[in-house]
Amino acid sequence: MDRNKLRDFGVMVMTPEKAPVIFLTIANNAEKTIKRCIDSVLGQEYSNLIYYVCDNGSEDSTRRIIEGYATNDTRVVPVCFNDNGWRLIDLVSTILLEHEDGFFAVLDADDEYKPDFLTKMLSFMYENDLDLAACGSDSLDAVTSELISKKELGCDLVLAGRGFLDKFMIYRRYIHDFWGKVYTLPTLRKAYIEYKRSNAASPTIGRNFELFNYMALKSLKRAGVFGESLHKYYVSPSSQSSRFYPGQIEASVSVYHTAKEYLQSFGAVDKITQDYLYAIYLGHLYEVLTRLYKADLPVEEKLYYISQILDLQLTKEMLAHEADPQFINLGKRDEFLSGIDTWRNANKGRGV
């Protein structure tokens, strides 16, 4: 039954003006960017929000800045820790315990949302009865603020039933992280429970958010991608996401299997979609290797991780798979292998 018919029967229906949005930001040594981040949330056209801002063991003035905002705006709830631990998913749990209804959104401490982010996203969700919505994003140089790239669908996309499988290649690039999304709290709760049950949940795995979002999508009825870019992502080579962690190798495998299991819940995965899953996996391996080559690690340790990647059964399957030519990176698998050989030869004898 649609919302207008519910009103005809006298049923109270939550409208955007009455629905609270729970925001979360976790910051560590973010004194140079945290004001931009917080201002973009508090400056939303839609103002019914509660904003949890967590200082994660900062050694600069981040905590003082957060506490200053909390003093001047009752919507800001400061959360402070003395060490820089993995806390995002655990803080989601706390939020779910304290709030039953409404919506949830995340913003990184160095990014920002455009002022109409909530207005447009909530309207999109209400008009289409969505449990989760994602939007596009502008990637900006963190130093110059110049636009690097724009990820924008250009038209609205609504997903339901088998559409989650058939349109995967269209919407997948919008679901790999927490930011740029609005979740209903019931959807967030179901995904959190499934995520915690999953063996994929690990503080070191490196792609937890993409895994979480597959579980969210599997648990809901309708989702969508809003056609515009409403998020600004500032790209910095020194960010946490640019560093190598051993768990990133395991994460790449987990994302592949979780994505495939998610898609299979809607029907059989065809060859083109399978090609795409292998292409995503290879793209993840490229990222891992790029970070590994730059990491401050002994050469013998880097060689160990390279061998680990190549010995994985999934890597062997991907390299042997006959893929459709449209997947350009799969067409360059020889270059992937030759790049590894080039690095090995350039570092032969160093530190071993």
| CA 178/CA 9 separation, integer angstroms | 37
Q: Quick count: other Cβ atoms within 10 Å of Cβ 288?
A: 21
| Per-residue pLDDT tens over the stretch 169-215 | 999 999 988 899 999 999 999 999 988 887 554 544 567 888 899 99
**Residue 50 resides in a domain:** yes
| Residue 233 and residue 281 share a domain | no
Alpha helix segments (H runs only) across 176-270: 185-197, 208-219, 247-264
Same domain, 162 and 291: no
Q: Are residues 22 and 72 in the same domain?
A: yes
| Residue 231 and residue 113 in contact, taking contact as beta carbons nearer than 8 Å | yes
| pLDDT grade for 33, boundaries at 50, 70 and 90 | very high
Place of tokens 């990637």: 139
In-domain check, residue 340 = yes
Kindly state whether residue 352 falls inside one of the protein's structural domains.
no
**Structure confidence by residue, pLDDT tens digits, 270-328:** 999 999 999 999 999 999 999 999 999 999 999 999 999 999 999 999 999 988 877 87
Helix (H) or strand (E) holding 317: helix 313-320
CB 117 within 8 A of CB 135: yes
Residue span of the structural domain in which 287 resides: 270-346
pLDDT bin (cut points 50, 70, 90) of residue 337 is: very high
Last residue of one domain, picked from the residues 225, 241, 257: 241
pLDDT at 303: 94
| 134 and 190 belong to one structural domain | yes
Residues 183 and 277 in one domain: no
Asked if residue 263 is part of any domain, the answer here is no
| Residue 314 in domain | yes
User: 228-241 in b/e burial notation, b at 16+ Cβ within 10 A?
Assistant: bbbbbbbeeeeeee
Cβ pair 227, 155 in contact under 8 A: yes
Residues 116-137: tens digit of each pLDDT? 999 999 999 999 999 999 999 9
Does 228 lie in the same domain as 81?
yes
Q: In terms of domains, do 222 and 280 share one?
A: no
Number of domains within the chain:
2
Same domain, 237 and 279: no
Q: Which domain CATH number covers 44?
A: 3.90.550.10
Looking at per-residue pLDDT, the higher value among 30 and 246 belongs to 30
Are 310 and 162 in the same domain?
no
Residue 135 or residue 244, greater confidence: 135
Q: Which of 138, 89, 139 is nearest to 117 (CA)?
A: 138
In a domain, 290, yes or no: yes
Same domain, 331 and 199: no
In the listed set 241, 256, 283, which residue is the last one of a domain according to the structure?
241
274 and 144 within one domain: no
Residue 265 lies in a domain: no
278 shares a domain with 205:
no
pTM of the entire structure? 0.87
Does residue 246 sit within a domain?
no
